[in-house]
Each structure stands twice: as C-alpha cells, then as structure tokens.
Structure 1
Amino acid sequence: MLTVLSMFYYICLRRRARTATRGEMNSRRAVESNSRALPMSAETIQYAKEVLDFTSHYGSENSMSYTMWNLAGIPNVYPSSGDFTQTAVFRTYGTWWDQCASLHQPSKRTSPSFHSQDYVELAFEEPVYPTAIHILETYHPGAVVKILACSANPYSQNSPAEVRWETIWFGEPTKVNSPQARQFSPCIKEINFPTNLIRLEINSSLLDYYTELDAVVLHGVKERPVLSLKTAVIHMNDLDEEDCEEKEGCGVGSLNRQFGSTGLKEWTNNGYFDKLPYELIQLIISHLTLPDMCRLAQTCKRLHQHCCDPLQYIHLSLQPYWAKLNDASLEYLQPRCTLTQWLNLSWTGNRGVISVSGFSRFLKVCGAELLRLELACGHFLNETCLEVIAETCPHLQVLNLSSCDKLPPQAFGHIAKICGLKHLILYRTKVEQTALLSILNFCSELQYLNLGSCVMIEDYDLIASMMGAKCKKLRSLDLWRCKNITENGIAALVSGCQNLEELDLGWCPTLQSSTGCFAKLARSLTNVRKLFLTANRSVCDADIEELAANCSRLQYLDILGTRMVSPESLRKLLQSCKELALLDVSFCSQIDSRVVQELNASFPHVAIKKSFTQ
C-alpha cells in the first residue's frame, strides 16, 4: 500500500510542478513543434468569415457596436488604439463583477489550470493546418488565455465522433502594461487535422478596462506538414491535462474507461493505511481535481472506493472539461452524483456531443439534491431539458442559462414550476414576456435576476411592476440594454423592491433624468451598492448629488457617456460615498483627463475609469 500512497503524493506533486511551469513548457513544446514542421504547400492567410458562438458581449443584439460580430472580416481599427465601437468587447473586465453580491461562489472542486471566463468561436473559409494565428488587440490587450482548433467543419453536418477540439496554445492571465494596440502571435502547436473553426478563450480579470479585439488572422497550409526525422524528447513534467486526456486511462475524457475499470488488484493487507479514518482519506482526496481523481481510482480497489464515493461529488464543475465531455462521460458519472448539490455544465455538449436524452438521464439521477445548476452556453438544451429540470430538481435555487440563445421562447415557461429559485440568469436568451411574468408570479423567493439583453420582452414597465408586486426579496437586478423601461417602471420597481443593492440600467435609452426617475431611485434605494447608468446622456449633477446625499454605501457607479455631470458634483459624491471603489466617467465631456488625475490624487482608493481613442 506504500506504493499506492507514493503514487498518490506523486500525482499531487507532479500537478503542482506542472501548474507552476505550464506557460514555459507550453511555449517550448510549441516551438519544438513548429521547428519540425516542413510545409509542402503555399501558406494561406485568412480573416475570420463568421462569428459562430460567444459567451457575452458589451454591445446590443440588434447592432454592430461593441459586438463579437465585429471579429469577422478585415480589421476595422488596427493599428489604431483606444475605445472604438467597431471592435469586439466582452461584457466584463477586472474583478469588479466578482466582488458583487450577485456573483455566486465558484465550485470548490475545479481545475487550477482553467482560467477561461469567456469565449468566441470563429469560422474561416478554408480548412487548413494552422501555422500561425495573429490576434489584433486594439485596447487593453492580454486577455487571451487559450486558443483551440476543432476538427468539425462548421459549414457541414458532423457526427459527434467527428467533433474534436485540440488546444494549440494556452497561457496564464496577463496584464500588459500599456493599453495600446498590439498583434498577439503566440507560438502554436502543430495538429494532425485541418481546421476552419478556431476558438479563443478569454480571462480579463487582470485588466484595468475592457479588452477590445479587432480581427483574427489564420495562417495555414492545405496539405499536412511533413515531420522531420528528429523527434523532440517529451519529459514527464511536460504532460499537462490537455496532453494526458488524449492518453489511455488519463483525464476526464476517458471517464468511461476509468470508472468502468474492474481490473484493480485486490490487496489482502494494506498495513497502516487501513488504520486511517475513512473521513481523513476522503478529506485528502477532496483536494484533487477530477482528472487526478480519475487516475487515482485506477490504483487499487480501496482508493477506487474513495474516488467513487458520492460525497466527493457534492460540488462538481465539468466546465473545465467541456471539450472532452460527452454522453458516455455523463453515463459513468451518474452513480457518483446522487448527492450532488452544485453542478456546472456550462459550455458543454455543443455540436451534438451531449444529447437531450443523455442529459435527461443524468439529471434524473443527480437532480434530487441539486441546489445550483449552471448551463451557460448550453446549446444542446431544448424545451424537454427545461421540463426535466423543473420535474427532477425540486430544491433548485440557482439556475444559470446565460447565452442559451437557441432555447425556444416557449421553453422558459417551465422555470415557473421551480418555486424556490433565488438566483436566475437569463442573459441573452429569448425569454418572452408571458413566460417571464409567470416566473415572477410563482418564484417569489427570487433575490438575483439577470435579464440583460433579453430582446424578446415587449413591455419592461409591466415586468418591473410585477417585480415590485411579487419579488419583495430582490437584491440584484440586471436590465442591461432593456429597450423600453420608463420612469413608471422604475417607480413601481423601487417602491416594491426596497432591498435592491445592485441595479444595472446601462444603455436603457427610454429613461430620462428630467422625469425625476433617477432622483426617486436614489431616495428609495438607500442601500444600493452597485448602480450602472451607462450611456444615459441625461444623467446630470442633480442626480449625482441625490446619490451623494442618500446612498452612502455606494461602491460601483457607471455614468459613461453623460454630458451633464460636472467635476464639482463628482467631488461631492466621492466625499460622501466613502466605500466607492469604481467610478466610470468615460466619454463624459465635462470630465477630462486632467480632472481624472486631480480626483485620483484626492481619492486614491477609487478606480476612476476614463477610456480614450486615438
């Protein structure tokens, strides 16, 4: 049994060393791979033809400003630097959103090498063997943490077996000292299949402001490069999760083999190991990631028992393994997930690798104890899936359907059956007014609701009135880019939902300060901590002074784009709101760079944001 313990500690130590030197080894492997490639045909250079999928964007669903669709085609801005509407911008940056009360805590068991927060998938005209990728970053570069290539052709029907993703570059989140434009050209790994589908994964947590991407250039050859006779030596420490998952018996990609294995050696005497309390062994194993636990399960029956104990799967995040997960993986996980309370399946199952029937079977086994279910960008979901969720997850409190934009409008009505919901994210979905009214009527426990960019809702005043009447416990509401709420909706909302601490009214064009709606909001929501009034041109000094007088706990304020706020009113706000941490005054015509410098000097604890264009 000492051998088993040694293997266990070796796995932990190897993982620590692998994580510490991941970026350096990835670069070395890429350089070695590129140095061995001898192209046999002329290089093809392509810009992205189409944006197929993405997690979020700053822009509107009905325009091109700041949207991911700007990544298609030739550059619009590069080599210029600055904040331009013609670029692709993700919804968040920095750690501000992580610090808000509306963000539910991440799963305790996840992969330390998984840094991705957003992604965008790009289709190109011609499949090629990639030789280089150039990403044109025009503002606050450094957010790209992973580049993947897919074997599937986005313009033809593919069976799930043909969908294979391979990482061709990855790195740690970085912060580039200058916000200026750059061409990011990492050394990419050689792959053995042609591709015209590339995925960029993003982490903006270290950035001071929104990252902006202008275009992506794919270089490649039509014929597979010939490898030289020289083969690079691969060291044990070079094997990361991405590599090991391709090998037999390694990683989450082969769950069916690992958990289904029966050829484990029977030890008659485990020595002192048998004297360890069961709970202590469970505690040690709980610090492993899912792939490491899969590997450890193959060492002996005793550790197999521990690694398959449902108590190890109370919190289960499968998002880091989205590229490998399929119906077979879920099938073999089922017996271990009978006690699961937190389940993250975000980004998984697309292009047919998880079926509706496979998801339904899995949820019927693990849904009984679920409190939290995350399915962001789950494009395999349909109405049947939401019906199964409503039927099999009676205790569900958190449901994340962010960017599930392929769900039909009628599917959302089933959510109204989950009466205990406290946290509901419907960002960029096609939820319609009738279904949403039903949800608000029956889910009176709601505390956090995200309706950002929900373009199918016809009357937001009616929705706000229902919230005020039924959702008295509401603490956080995101109405980002809602198209028609007026002062009447705001009045109904703040009179009924006085516990609101976070309110996002960014890019809501029908709100006008002259109606008194912002002043009423400030007087009613005295505990507000986050208030976004982004791009509301009518916000004025009187509104800022009302916030200063009534909202002393304010921490995050965005008034980007107003022409009617002066330095004097901002100084009053900063003096009154001692907890203020973020203030965005970009494109505020009275607040120039000199004013920002003066305010920064007087209030150094506040991050005052002022974007620029060149």
Structure 2
Amino acid sequence: MSPVFPMLTVLSMFYYICLRRRARTATRGEMMNSRRAIESNNRALPTNVEIVQYAKEVLDFSSHYGSENSMSYTMWNLAGIQNVYPSSGDFTQTAVFRTYGTWWDQCPSARLPFKRTPPDFYSQDYVELAFEDPVYPTAVHILETYHPGSVVRVLACSANPYSQNPPAEVRWEVLWSEAPTKVNGPQARQFTPCIKQINFPTNLIRLEVNSSLLDYYTELDAVVLHGVKERPVLSLKTTMIDMNDDDEDEDEEKDGGGMESLNKQFSVAALKEWPTNGYFDKLPYELIQLILSHLTVPDLCRLAQTCKLLYQHCCDPLQYIHLSLQPYWARINDTSLEYLQSRCTLVQWLNLSWTGNRGAISVSGFSRFMKICGFELVRLELACGHFLNETCLEVIAETCVNLQELNLSSCDKLPPQAFNHIAKVGSLKRLILYRTKVEQTALLSILNFCSELQHLSLGSCVMIEDYDLIASMMGAKCKKLRTLDLWRCKNITENGIAELASGCQLLEELDLGWCPTLQSSTGCFTNIARKLPNLQKLFLTANRSVCDTDIEELAANCTHLRQLDILGTRMVSPTSLRKLLESCKDLSLLDVSFCSQIDNRVVLELNASFPRVLIKKSFTQ
C-alpha cells in the first residue's frame, strides 16, 4: 500500500468531521430560525402603543455620491420624512452611495480581496441612523426610490447617541440579514425585512448594503422605525455579537470579553492534559496548515480549544499573514487586539476598516498592537476608523516601515495635522484619502516624499485650497502614478490638468467627476486624450461642457478605454459616440445619463450595434 494512502484517509476523515459539524450547525440554525419564527408569530401582542418615527439624524456612513458641502445625493437626505417616495427615478433629494455594480472591481485601481472573508459577509457600505426615542423594534421600513435591492443587513445598537451617560459596553444585534438578490426593475418600493426581536431598546439603526448586483446607483429616501417602549412579555432571548460565540449552545451566557476568555480558558498548560491526537498528528505540519488556512478567524479561535496540536497550528503567525477583521467590526475591541497580538507578528495585510468606533478600540490599544504587529505590514485598511487620531498615524509612520498601501477612506474625524506623518512612509504605492480633512501643506509633503505612489484617491477632500498646485506636484514627483481620483475637486483648472497630463503619462484611470471648473473650451479634455493614451477609465461626470470634439479625440487616442462617464452633457451627439464605440473595442461601460442629445431611441440603436457595451441611461419621472 502506498504510504500516501493513510495520510489521505486521515485527511478525508478530517474533512468529513468538518462537514458533519457544519451540517449539524446549519441544521441547528435552521431549527432555531424555525422555532423563532413560530414563537414570534404566536407571541402575545404588546399592550403598549407602537411608536412610528423617521430618522432624526445621520450619524455615520462609509461613502456617498454627493458633495460634503451640499445635500444633493448625500446620506444626510435619510434624515426626516421622505422627499421622493412613492415616485421612482433619479432624484437629488435621495441618499446615494458612491459605487454600484462590479465596475469598480474591474478598473485599474481595484484592490485584491482579503482571504478568509466569511461567506456570509456581503456588506460593502453602511449608514447609521439615530432616532428620537429608544424602542423595541417591531418593524423597519426602508423607502427605496431607484434600483432597489442593495440592503443586505439591518442592525440595532444598545448605545443611545443622545444619552449623557454612554454604556460601558456597546452591543450590536443583527435584526435581519440576507445575501444580495437581484430585484427586477428600477422602480420604487417599500422594503420591510422580517426582523427578529431583541432584548434591549434601541434608537440607533445601521443599514449595510451591497450594490454588486445593481444595474445602476441605488437611491434611498427614508427609513421608518416602528417599535414599542416596553419590552414585549414573550420576547425571545437573543445573543449579542461576540467573538467567543460558539453555536453549540445558544442559551449559554457570553462574558462579552472579545476573545480574551479563549486565551484564559485554554492555555497550553491545560491542553497538555488532553488525550492524544490519534493519527492526525502524523500529517505533515505544512498540510495541516494548508487545511486550516480555509477557516475563518472565529473558527480558528474555536478550533484552538480542541487539542494541543491544533492550538499550536491555530496560533501559528503564518495563519495570519492576511488578516481581515472588518467582517467582525462589531466584536473587535482592545481585548480582541491584545488576544490576537502574539499571532499577528508576521501579518502583512491587515484590515481594520469599520472597527473600533464608540470607544471599542482606544488609541493606546491600537498603538500597542501596531508596535508589535506592524513591522511586516505591507497593506493597512482603516476605512471609517473614527478612533484614529494623530498619535495613531504617528505610530503607523514610525512602525510600518514596509507599508505600501494605506486606506483612510471616510476617516473624517482625523485632524488635518495628523496627515503630515504619512509623508514619512516613503514606500507607499497606494493612498486612499477619500472624504478626509487632509490639507494642502500635508498633501504636498506626501507627494514630495512618496514618489513611488501608483494609486491616489483624493475624492471629496474639501480642505485642499489649490488643486492646480497639487496637480503640478504630482506631475513633477509622481511619475509612476497609474490611477487618480479627483472626484468633486472644486478648483482644478486646465493649468493643473496640463501639468498632470505631462508628468503622469502612465495614468490608466482618471476620475474628474463633478469638477465644475474644467471647461472643454480650454482644451483640457483634448490634452488628456492626447497625453494619456493608456487611459482605461475616464469619468467626466456632470461636466456640461464635454462636446463632440472631446469624444472624437478620445476615439482617436485612447483606444484602450474601458469605462467612460459623460453624464449630464448636452453637447455630445450620437455620431461622435458611434465613432468612440467603433474605435474603443474594449469599452464596456458608457454612462450617458441626462445627455439631452442621447435619448432612449439612440441608446437602443447603439445597444443593437455594440452589444458588448453596457450603456447607462438614468431617468427621472
């Protein structure tokens, strides 16, 4: 018999055991969901009166299509009563997230996904809404007015944002979650997911969305929370989100201490007393490591409790080279980071996006973790990390000497002076500063010292006084720049574009959407087309001056173009678009919404002639 056969047999047994356990867990989950549904339907109705309230305030969000200085297409439109519903269509009074579909994953600035992302985590964006009165929720109504279907999760928080005495522990409960589903048609709807009961009152609701299946931007008009003041008598017991959570016994009380209890209860000394591992310990170390690499972080924490051998493997720093904690944002705190500290000494990719808010992670806790685990970091994701301050960025700059990618998207509470420290990270190749308060002086310093930059996002950075000066510095110092996001940059002119196009000729992606100071008559778009022949994505969204000459220049010079957005221009004709489509064989996305010369008949004709291209034409009823 081949010596490989016993190894394969043991491996097969291991997979069989894993599958059996997952099957039992799934079956148990289905039974519990069924029991909950039955009990929920049969419970006595509460005697107190149901309260109906619209969101009072938008507290936080990850992105929006709109400007930081207006109300058009911003998340702030979710506060108060509906503005549009039940009408359907593209309206500026609604809340719109920055992206939709899979287009942003197909452009040069796209980032590689993290491994070990749990299969049931679909969220791409979020918005948090505060209501006047804490209630036990009985229903949540989401008014969607255009391309509905993006909401994948609804959560409730135990913290009262209007209380003077914040709770020692902030708890989140999932009211409803589901995988993304395709909704036919863009028409408005009232979405009322079937939520479960929780055992605390709330006036803080969070919506998480995934727009990957949408044909265009989703638009939300309002959120209505129904609830009662008194806890229903027959409310079901629920379990708070906790990294310790073990589905073996849903009624087991959790200690709320992150992963600390795992560390305390299952020490190496205790594991020495456990029985032998049968034949499993005969497998090569590398093979066991490969098997365990398919487990999520919570699964690794649970498996570490089973025996000394697996404890050793589950704590091996090689299992944490790529670590994404974003899917567990509600569970991560200082204790969690301390628990993971010894395992993350070799971590290269770290995702802490969305984590640590409302006091869950302290500056000292984050700093301790980075000083031990930051030396090998190449990629660091900190989007929406509102616990960050200047000290945190200083620690990153001093510790992460190999850092190449830094994402501070929507870290809008970081003080402007904090960004000066980024200039010390000379190895940076990707920097995302979308919706931050970075100022001109700090940005000039970053561009001067970080000459290896290839991807730079400055979308909605409203504190920059002179974008022409910034563009000039990029042209002089950032010769390797491949992608640049200047979304809603308010003051760049043809002079800045000329400097940029002359110096950054490797650019493959350029977003100049909603840049009102650019005028086609100055030749700025012609300059882009002639100087940047490698362009694959060009967004000129809402620039009313884009004309046939610009489109024809793109057709002649930018034949690798894949994505083009010219929403809102009245000066582009069907003839020039046909020339573009004939020349740019790789074009897959063309947005001509609100282009008055391009009506639905023209879109149908172009679709028939160029079926490989998805032509977007938004509408307002």
**TM-score where L is the length of structure 2:** 0.93
| Pairing partner for 1:95 from 82, 102, 108 | 102
Counterparts of 2:326 and 2:302, CA distance in 1 = 19
The AA in structure 2 aligned to 1:528 is: L
Instruction: Please state how far the C-alpha of 1:39 moved relative to its aligned partner.
Output: 1.2
Identity %: 79
Change (3 A) 1:467 1:585: same
Deviations 1:247-268 (A, max 9, x none): 7699997411123322336356
1:207 aligns with 2:214: yes
Name 2:261's counterpart in structure 1.
Answer: 257
Name the residue aligned to 2:368: 361
CA distance in 2, matches of 1:89, 1:557: 20
Q: Secondary structure at the match of 2:123?
A: coil
DSSP 3-state at the match of 1:384? helix
Q: Is the 8 A contact 1:127 1:194 kept in 2?
A: yes
Partner of 1:297: 304
Counterpart-to-counterpart distance in 1, 2:29 and 2:605: 42
> Using the alignment, how far apart are the partners of 1:233 and 1:376 within structure 2?
30
Q: 1:242 to 1:409 in 2, by over 3 A?
A: farther
Task: Return the match for 1:41 from 24, 41, 48.
Answer: 48
Structure 1 stretch 288-297 or stretch 47-56: which is displaced more?
288-297
Gaps of 5+ in 1: 235-239
Following TM superposition, by how much is the alpha carbon of 1:245 offset from its aligned partner in structure 2, in angstroms? Answer: 11
Alignment-derived partner of residue 553 in structure 2: 546
Distance 1:430 1:503 in 2: 21
Counterparts of 1:100 and 1:247, CA distance in 2: 47
Q: C-alpha offsets along residues 185-231 of structure 1, whole Å, 9 cap, x if unaligned? A: 01101000000000000000000000000000000000000107xx8
Contact 1:55 / 1:118 at 8 angstroms: preserved in 2?
yes
2:517 alignment partner, one of 493, 506, 510 = 510
Q: 2:387 aligns with which of 366, 380, 384?
A: 380
Establish whether residue 611 from structure 1 lines up as the match of residue 615 from structure 2. no
Q: What residue number does 1:432 align with? A: 439
> Is the alpha carbon distance of 1:270 and 1:25 closer, same or farther for their aligned partners in structure 2, counting shifts above 3 Å?
closer
Matched residue SS, 1:461? helix
In the alignment, residue 112 of structure 2 is paired with which amino acid? Q
1:475 alignment partner, one of 482, 502, 515: 482
Q: 1:57 aligns with which of 41, 61, 64?
A: 64
The aligned residue for residue 82 of structure 2 is 75
- Structure 1, 119-128 or 12-21: larger mean CA deviation: 12-21
Judged with a 3 Å threshold, the aligned counterparts in structure 2 of structure 1 residues 509 and 244 are, in CA distance, closer, same or farther, namely farther
19-28 or 567-576: bigger deviation: 19-28
Is structure 2 residue 137 aligned with structure 1 residue 133?
Answer: no
Distance in structure 2 (CA, Å) of the matches to 1:338 and 1:390: 17
Structure 1 counterpart of 2:427: 420
**Cα distance change on mapping 1:223 and 1:595 into 2, 3 Å:** same
CA deviation after TM superposition for structure 1 residue 274, in Å: 2.3
Q: How does 1:71-470 map to 2 (within 5 A)?
A: 71-159=78-166, 161-227=168-234, 254-260=258-264, 261-262=266-267, 263-264=270-271, 266-267=273-274, 269-470=276-477
CA contact (8 A) 1:241 1:251 kept: no
The 1:319–1:19 alpha-carbon spacing in structure 2 relative to 1, beyond 3 Å, is farther
Letter in 2 for 1:400: N
Specify which of 564, 568, 578 is matched with residue 571 of structure 1.
578
* Per-residue deviation, 1:33: 3.1
For the 8 Å contact 1:343–1:372, the answer to whether it is kept is: yes
The alpha-carbon distance between structure 1 residues 112 and 502, as it changes in their structure 2 partners (threshold 3 A), is same
* Code of the aligned partner of 2:128: E
**CA offset at residue 269 of structure 1?**
3.9
Q: What is the distance in 1 between the residues matched to 2:249 and 2:397?
A: 34
The answer to whether the Cα contact below 8 Å between 1:251 and 1:291 also exists between their aligned partners in 2 is no
Instruction: Provide closer, same or farther for how the CA distance between residues 536 and 252 of structure 1 changes in structure 2, counting only shifts above 3 A.
Output: farther
Indicate how the Cα distance of structure 1 residues 601 and 245 shifts in structure 2: closer, same or farther if over 3 A, else same. farther
Distance 1:577-1:469 versus aligned 2 partners, 3 A rule: same
1:531 deviates by 0.1
Per-residue deviation, 1:111: 1.2
Question: Residues 411 and 514 (structure 1 numbering): CA distance in 2 closer, same or farther, change over 3 Å?
Answer: same
Structure 1 residues 195 and 80, CA gap change in structure 2 (3 angstroms): same
1-structure distance, mates of 2:177, 2:324: 20
Against the structure 1 CA distance between its residues 268 and 324, is the aligned structure 2 distance closer, same or farther, given a 3 Å change threshold? Answer: closer
Give 1:156 deviation, angstroms: 2.3
Distance 1:532 1:174 in 2: 28
Residue matched to 2:542? 535
Which 5+ residue runs of structure 2 have no aligned equivalent?
1-8
What is the identity, as a one-letter code, of the residue corresponding to 1:389? Answer: I
Change (3 A) 1:41 1:242: farther
* C-alpha contact 2:374 2:399 (8 A) present in aligned 1: yes
Q: In structure 2, how many angstroms separate the alpha carbons of the residues matched to 1:146 and 1:119?
A: 9
Please tell me the residue identity of whatever aligns with 1:256.
E
Cα-to-partner distance string for 1:510-538 (whole Å, 9 max, x where unaligned): 00000000001000100100000000000
Match of 1:350, SS?
Answer: coil
CA distance in 2, matches of 1:352, 1:579: 48
In terms of mean alpha carbon deviation, does 150-159 or 307-316 score higher?
150-159
Query: How big is the shift at 1:36?
Result: 2.5
1:270-324: CA deviations, max 9, x gaps? 3322220000000000000111111111101110110000000000000000001
Contact 2:160/2:166, CA 8 A, preserved across alignment:
no
Secondary structure of the residue aligned to 2:597 is: coil
Are the aligned partners of 1:27 and 1:187 in contact in 2 as well (CA < 8 Å)? Answer: no
- Report the Cα distance in structure 2 between the residues aligned to 1:19 and 1:573, rounded to whole angstroms: 52
Q: Distance in 1 between matches of 2:446 and 2:224?
A: 44
How many residues were matched structurally? Answer: 608
Q: 2:564 aligns with which of 530, 552, 557?
A: 557
Greater alpha carbon shift after TM alignment, 45-54 vs 12-21: 12-21
Name the CA shift for 1:443/1:30 in 2 (closer, same or farther; >3 Å).
farther
* 3-state SS of paired residue (2:564): strand
Distance 2:23 2:562 in 1: 37
